[in-house]
C-alpha cells in the first residue's frame, strides 16, 4: 500500500518536472529542400547512403521505391518530393535515414544529414500558418539562432500524407 | 493475459485439434467395420481423458464436461468390451460419437475465435448419459442379474444403516456420492476401480454395481461400502478416496459398529446374496488387473518423432535460407575474384562448389519443412461424405488416391474449403438420387467419388470426380442465358466454355437451396480461392457419365521459378509456369482495334498485347514492338502477350511480400504480387499474370 503511495508521489513529481522548463530530447537534424528538420533519435535505426532504390510502379512519385537492407525490403520516401519540390540528382551527400516508427520501418531520402543535438521539446512551437500538408508539426529556435522544423514522423508512417 | 498463457492456449488448441482429428479418423475407419477395436476404445478413452484434463486446466468448462461424459461412456465400454453392445446400440454409438466430436469442435472453434463457450450443454451431456444408462441397463438384463440387484436394492432399502455381511472385514468405508451426479453405480464402480489400480485388497457392496443400473438408487440413498481386511489397506484407500471426484462424504466404520449393527439389522434376506457376490468380487479383480496394467502401458508417452513448430519461425527460417542462397551466389559471382591468381581462384571455386551444394541441400530441406501431406484434408472429406450419405440417403463410396502427396502448409489451408465445396456438390447434385436410377443407367448401384492428388513438375494436381449425372452443357447455357451471364451468342460457346459457365459468380444450377450446397455462392468462390494461391480450376464432364473437377496448384508459394525481364531500368520476374512462348514480331503482324489496342496472332487466335512500360509508366528506350520481345503468357483461362524490353534469364527466386506500407496503393490488383532480391542485391518485382490482365485489359 505504502509502496503504491510512493510511486504515486513519484509520478506527481515527474509530472511536475515535465511541466517545468525542460524536456530534453536527443534529435537528429537533417536538411532537405533547404529546410533543416529534426527528429528524435529514438526512431532512427541507421543512416545509409549511396544505396540503390528499386522503383515501384503505380505509386505516388514521392515514394521512390523499395530498398534492400540486409535482405529485408523497406519502402523509401523522398522528403523533397513529399514537400512538392523538384527532384534533385542524388549525390554522395544524399542519405537514407532508416526509421522505425511503431514497428513500421521505412527509409526517408534527405539531401544531407547534419548532426545529433539536444533539443528542448518544450521550446517547440506550432507553425503559425494553416497548411494542407502536414510533414512538419512545429518549429524551434536553437542556440546559434537557426530555426529548425520538427518532422512529423507519425503522419509519414501512418500514410495519411500523400 | 501474457505470453505464457497465450502459448499455453496455442498448445492446447493444437493438441486438442490433433486429438479430434485422430478421433475423427478412427471413427470413420471403425464405422466401416461397425466395430471398435480394443485399441481404439482405449485410445478414444485416452483422447477424452486428455481433452477433459487440459480443458479443465484451461477452464473451458463445456469442453471438459462433454469429454468427461464420453470418457465415462468409454470407460464402461472399455470395461465391458465393445462386443457387449447390441448392433443397434453400436450404430447409435457412432452417431453419438460423431455428434460429440462436432460439439467438441464447435466449442474449440469458439475458443479459437475468442467467443464465449456454450453454457447450456446439459441436453447434450444428458444424451450421452442416457445412452450410457441404456447400454449399461441392457447389459444387465441380458445377464439376468436384475432380479438379484433388485433384491439387494430392497434389502438395503429396508434397513438404511445395514452394513454388508462380510465377516472377514476388519473395517468398512461407507461412501456417499454427491447428489445428482448421475449414473451413481458406475461412478462408484470407477472409484472401486481406482482403488484396485493401486493394489488395495478389498470387497465392495453392492457387488454388482457395475453391471446393474438398478443399484443406482441404492447408492444414491445409502451410499456404498468398501470392505477391508486390514487397517493399513483402509488408510491407503482413504488417501485414494481423497483424490476422487464426486464423493460427497465417507466414513470409516469399525467392525465393532458392524457387530452392533448386524443383529439390529437382522438381514437374513441379504445373506443368500453374499456368497453370490463375494465370488463375483473375487473374480472381478483378475480382468481389472489386466485392464489396469494395459492402461498405464498405453498411457506411456509414445515415442514422438514429430514436433510442432510455430509457422512464423519456419517462415523466417525459409527467408534466411533464401538469403543464404542469394548471398552465396553474390560471393561466388563477385567480380573481385578475377583478380585472384589462377591457383587461388581454382581453390576458391572448389570450396565454392562445395558451398553451393550445401546451400542447395539446405534450401531443399527448409522448403520440405513446410510440406504436409494432403491426407488431413482428405480425411475431413471422408467425414463429409459419411454425413451426407446418411442425410441424403445415397450410397456412395469415397476412393482416395495419393493422400500422401505433400503440399505447402499455406496451400493446404486454402484448398480445404474449395475441396469440401466440390465434394458436397458432387454428393448433392452429382450422384444420382436413387440406386434404381443408377441401375437404370447401367451403373454400379453404389456411387463413387474419387479424390486424388498427385505431383506434376512444379504443381500438385487435385481432382475430384464422381460417376453421377454429369453436366449438360445445354442446360448450363440455358441457365446462363436466364441469368444474363452470356457474353456472346449461345451457338459460339464450345463445350469447354459452356462448362466453364458454372464458375461464373451468381451461377448455381440447383433450384433449391439445400443444407449442403446451393447457397448462391458456388464454384465461383472455389475458383477465386484456388486462384488466390496461384492455381487453376478446370472442369470436364460427360452427360450421364460423371464430372471431374481438377485443380492445379503450385507446390509452394515461397519459391518461384521465374523469368527475369527488363523494362527500362526495372527488372521484373514472371513465373515460368505462366509463360507459353517468347517471340519477336514485325510491325505488320500487329493488328490494331479501333482504340489502338494491339493484338497479335498466335496459332490461329489473336491475343491482346500489354506493353509493360506503358501500363506501369516506365521510361525505356525500347518502344518499338520490333526492338523488344513479346512473351505469350497464360493464367487460368486468360491468355495474352506481354511486351518487354528483353529477357535476362531464368532463376529460382524467394518470394517476399511488399512492405505493408504499400497496401493502400492496391498493387496486388495491378499485377504486382511481391518482390524478390536478386543475386546482386537488387530487387525485382514479381508479376502476377492474372491480376495484371484484369487491371490492364478488363478495366479498359
What per-residue confidence (pLDDT) applies to B214? 65
Nearest residue on chain A to B568, alpha-carbon basis: A55
Nearest Cα of chain B lies from the Cα of A157 at a distance, in angstroms, of 8
Question: Are B672 and A57 inside 8 Å of each other by CB?
Answer: yes
Nearest residue on chain A to B614, alpha-carbon basis: A57
What per-residue confidence (pLDDT) applies to A131? 67
Q: Are B520 and B370 in contact (CB under 8 A)?
A: no
Nearest residue on chain B to A56, alpha-carbon basis: B685
Question: Are A54 and B683 inside 8 Å of each other by CB?
Answer: yes
Q: How far apart are CA B471 and CA B541, in angstroms?
A: 6
Residue holding cell 449399461?
B136
The ipTM assigned to this model is 0.80
Q: Which site among A53, A56, A102, A106 would you substitute to test the B interface, given the most B Cβ atoms closer than 10 Å to its Cβ? A: A56
What per-residue confidence (pLDDT) applies to B255? 60
Nearest Cα of chain B lies from the Cα of A118 at a distance, in angstroms, of 31
Q: Rounded to the nearest 5 degrees, what angle is found at the Cα of B118, between the Cα atoms of B117 and B120? A: 150
Question: Would you say residue A22 lies in a domain?
Answer: no
What per-residue confidence (pLDDT) applies to B563? 92
Residues of chain B in contact with residue A56, where contact means CB-CB under 8 angstroms, are 658, 662, 667, 672, 685
Q: How far apart are CA B279 and CA B591, in angstroms?
A: 100
Question: Would you say residue A152 lies in a domain?
Answer: yes
Residues of chain B in contact with residue A105, where contact means CB-CB under 8 angstroms, are 659
Residues of chain A in contact with residue B320, where contact means CB-CB under 8 angstroms, are 71
Neighbours of B230 (CB within 10 A): 13
Instruction: Count how many domains chain A has.
Output: 1
Out of A54, A67, A75, closest to residue B661 by CB? A75
Eight-class DSSP state of B428: I
For chain B, the C-alpha Rg in angstroms (whole number) is 35
Question: Would you say residue A10 lies in a domain?
Answer: no
Out of B320, B661, B675, closest to residue A104 by CB? B661
Residues of chain B with pLDDT under 50: 1-2, 139-161, 257-302, 511-513, 515, 517-520
Question: Would you say residue A104 lies in a domain?
Answer: yes
Averages of pLDDT over each 10 residues, chain A, 162 residues: 46 46 86 90 89 89 88 88 84 90 88 91 84 77 88 73 48
For chain A, the C-alpha Rg in angstroms (whole number) is 18
Q: How far apart are CA B307 and CA B566, in angstroms?
A: 44
Residues of chain A in contact with residue B658, where contact means CB-CB under 8 angstroms, are 56, 66, 73
What per-residue confidence (pLDDT) applies to B1? 44
Nearest to A98 by CA among A151, A138, A146, A44: A44
What per-residue confidence (pLDDT) applies to B583? 92
Q: How far apart are CA B71 and CA B396, in angstroms?
A: 32
| H helical segments located in B159-230 | 184-197, 215-222
Domain that holds residue A41: 27-114+124-157
CATH number at residue A75: 2.40.50.180
What per-residue confidence (pLDDT) applies to B181? 61
Contacting residues for A120 by C-beta, under 8 A, at least 6 apart: A21, A22, A23, A24, A25, A140
Q: CB-based contact (8 Å) between B567 and chain A?
A: no
Q: Which site among B683, B695, B696 would you substitute to test the A interface, given the most A Cβ atoms closer than 10 Å to its Cβ? A: B683
Question: Would you say residue A2 lies in a domain?
Answer: no
What per-residue confidence (pLDDT) applies to A50? 76
Out of A73, A105, A159, closest to residue B683 by CB? A73
Exposure string (b/e) for B615-640, b if CB count within 10 Å is 16 or more?
bbebebebeebeebbbbbbbbbebbb
Question: Are B570 and A73 inside 8 Å of each other by CB?
Answer: no
Question: Would you say residue A92 lies in a domain?
Answer: yes
Question: Is residue B652 within a helix (H) or strand (E), and if so which, with residue range?
Answer: strand B646-654
Amino acid at each position: 500500500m505504502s509502496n503504491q503511495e510512493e510511486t504515486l508521489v513519484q509520478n506527481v513529481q515527474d509530472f511536475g518536472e515535465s511541466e517545468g522548463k525542460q524536456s530534453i530530447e536527443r534529435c537528429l537534424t537533417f536538411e532537405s529542400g533547404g529546410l533543416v528538420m529534426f527528429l528524435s533519435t529514438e526512431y532512427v535505426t541507421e543512416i545509409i547512403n549511396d544505396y540503390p532504390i528499386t522503383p515501384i510502379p503505380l505509386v505516388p512519385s514521392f515514394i521512390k521505391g523499395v530498398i534492400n537492407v540486409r535482405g529485408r525490403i523497406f519502402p523509401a520516401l523522398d522528403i523533397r518530393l513529399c514537400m512538392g519540390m523538384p527532384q534533385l540528382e542524388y549525390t554522395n551527400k544524399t542519405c537514407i535515414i532508416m526509421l522505425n516508427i511503431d514497428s513500421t520501418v521505412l527509409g526517408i531520402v534527405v539531401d544531407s544529414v547534419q548532426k545529433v543535438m539536444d533539443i528542448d521539446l518544450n521550446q517547440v512551437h506550432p507553425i503559425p500558418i494553416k497548411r494542407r500538408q502536414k510533414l512538419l508539426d512545429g518549429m524551434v529556435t536553437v542556440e546559434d539562432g537557426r530555426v529548425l522544423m520538427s518532422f512529423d514522423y507519425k503522419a509519414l508512417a501512418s500514410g495519411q500524407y500523400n | 493475459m501474457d505470453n505464457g498463457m497465450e502459448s499455453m492456449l496455442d498448445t492446447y488448441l493444437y493438441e486438442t485439434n490433433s486429438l479430434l482429428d485422430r478421433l475423427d479418423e478412427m471413427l470413420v475407419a471403425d464405422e466401416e467395420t461397425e466395430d471398435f477395436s480394443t485399441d481404439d476404445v482405449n485410445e478414444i478413452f485416452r483422447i477424452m481423458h486428455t481433452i477433459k484434463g487440459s480443458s479443465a486446466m484451461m477452464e473451458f468448462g463445456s469442453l471438459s464436461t462433454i469429454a468427461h461424459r464420453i470418457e465415462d461412456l468409454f470407460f464402461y465400454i472399455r470395461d465391458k468390451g465393445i462386443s457387449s453392445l447390441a448392433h443397434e446400440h453400436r450404430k447409435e454409438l457412432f452417431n453419438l460419437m460423431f455428434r460429440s466430436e462436432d460439439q467438441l469442435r464447435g466449442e474449440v472453434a469458439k475458443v479459437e475465435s475468442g467467443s464465449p463457450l456454450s453454457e447450456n450443454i446439459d441436453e447434450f451431456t444428458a444424451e450421452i448419459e442416457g445412452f450410457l444408462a441404456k447400454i449399461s441397463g441392457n447389459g444387465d438384463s441380458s445377464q439376468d442379474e436384475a432380479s438379484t440387484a433388485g433384491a439387494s436394492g430392497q434389502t438395503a432399502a429396508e434397513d438404511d444403516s445395514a452394513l454388508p455381511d462380510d465377516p472377514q472385514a476388519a473395517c468398512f468405508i461407507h461412501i456417499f456420492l454427491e447428489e445428482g451426479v448421475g449414473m451413481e453405480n458406475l461412478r462408484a464402480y470407477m472409484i472401486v476401480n481406482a482403488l484396485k489400480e493401486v493394489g488395495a485388497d478389498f470387497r465392495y457392496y453392492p457387488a454388482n454395481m457395475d453391471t446393474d443400473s438398478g443399484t443406482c438408487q441404492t447408492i444414491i440413498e445409502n451410499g456404498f461400502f468398501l470392505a477391508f481386511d486390514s487397517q493399513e489397506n483402509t488408510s491407503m484407500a482413504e488417501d485414494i478416496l481423497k483424490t476422487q471426484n464426486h464423493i460427497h462424504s465417507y466414513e470409516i466404520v469399525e467392525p465393532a459398529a458392524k457387530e452392533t449393527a448386524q443383529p439390529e439389522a437382522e438381514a437374513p434376506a441379504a445373506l443368500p446374496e453374499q456368497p453370490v457376490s463375494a465370488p463375483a468380487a473375487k473374480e472381478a479383480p483378475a480382468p481389472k488387473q489386466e485392464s489396469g496394467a494395459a492402461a498405464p502401458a498405453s498411457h506411456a508417452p509414445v515415442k514422438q518423432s514429430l514436433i510442432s513448430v510455430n509457422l512464423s519461425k519456419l517462415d523466417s527460417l525459409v527467408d534466411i535460407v533464401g538469403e543464404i542462397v542469394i548471398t552465396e551466389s553474390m560471393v561466388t559471382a563477385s567480380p573481385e575474384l578475377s583478380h585472384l591468381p589462377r591457383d587461388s581462384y581454382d581453390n576458391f571455386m572448389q570450396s565454392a562448389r562445395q558451398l553451393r551444394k550445401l546451400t542447395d541441400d539446405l534450401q531443399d530441406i527448409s522448403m520440405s519443412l513446410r510440406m504436409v501431406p494432403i491426407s488431413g484434408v482428405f480425411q475431413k472429406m471422408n467425414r463429409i461424405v459419411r454425413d451426407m450419405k446418411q442425410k441424403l440417403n445415397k450410397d456412395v463410396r469415397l476412393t482416395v488416391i495419393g493422400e500422401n502427396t505433400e503440399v505447402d502448409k499455406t496451400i493446404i489451408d486454402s484448398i480445404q474449403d474449395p475441396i469440401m465445396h466440390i465434394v458436397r456438390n458432387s454428393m448433392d447434385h452429382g450422384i444420382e438420387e436413387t440406386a434404381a436410377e443408377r441401375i437404370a443407367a447401367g451403373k454400379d448401384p453404389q456411387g463413387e467419388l474419387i479424390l486424388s492428388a498427385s505431383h506434376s513438375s512444379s504443381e500438385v494436381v487435385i481432382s475430384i470426380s464422381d460417376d453421377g449425372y454429369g453436366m449438360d452443357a445445354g442446360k448450363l447455357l440455358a441457365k446462363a442465358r436466364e441469368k444474363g451471364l452470356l457474353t456472346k451468342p449461345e451457338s459460339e460457346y464450345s463445350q469447354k466454355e459452356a462448362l466453364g459457365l458454372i464458375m461464373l459468380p451468381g451461377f448455381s444450377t440447383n433450384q433449391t437451396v439445400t443444407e449442403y450446397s446451393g447457397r448462391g455462392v458456388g464454384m465461383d468462390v472455389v475458383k477465386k480461392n484456388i486462384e488466390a494461391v496461384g492455381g487453376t480450376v478446370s472442369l470436364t464432364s460427360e452427360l450421364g457419365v460423371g464430372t471431374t473437377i481438377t485443380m492445379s496448384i503450385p507446390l509452394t508459394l515461397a519459391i518461384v521459378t521465374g523469368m527475369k525481364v527488363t523494362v527500362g531500368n526495372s527488372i521484373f520476374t514472371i513465373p515460368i509456369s505462366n509463360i507459353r512462348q517468347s517471340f519477336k514480331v514485325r510491325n505488320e503482324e500487329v493488328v490494331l482495334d479501333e482504340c489502338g489496342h494491339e493484338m497479335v496472332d498466335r496459332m490461329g487466335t489473336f491475343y491482346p498485347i500489354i506493353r509493360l512500360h506503358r501500363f506501369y509508366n516506365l521510361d525505356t528506350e525500347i518502344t518499338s514492338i520490333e526492338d523488344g520481345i513479346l512473351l505469350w503468357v497464360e493464367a487460368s483461362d486468360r491468355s495474352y502477350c506481354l511486351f518487354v524490353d528483353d529477357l535476362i534469364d531464368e532463376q529460382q527466386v524467394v518470394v517476399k511480400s511488399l512492405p505493408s506500407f504499400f497496401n493502400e496503393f492496391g498493387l496486388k490488383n495491378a499485377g504486382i504480387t511481391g518482390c524478390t532480391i536478386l543475386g546482386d542485391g537488387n530487387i525485382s518485382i514479381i508479376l502476377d499474370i492474372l491480376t495484371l490482365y484484369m487491371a490492364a485489359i478488363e478495366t479498359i
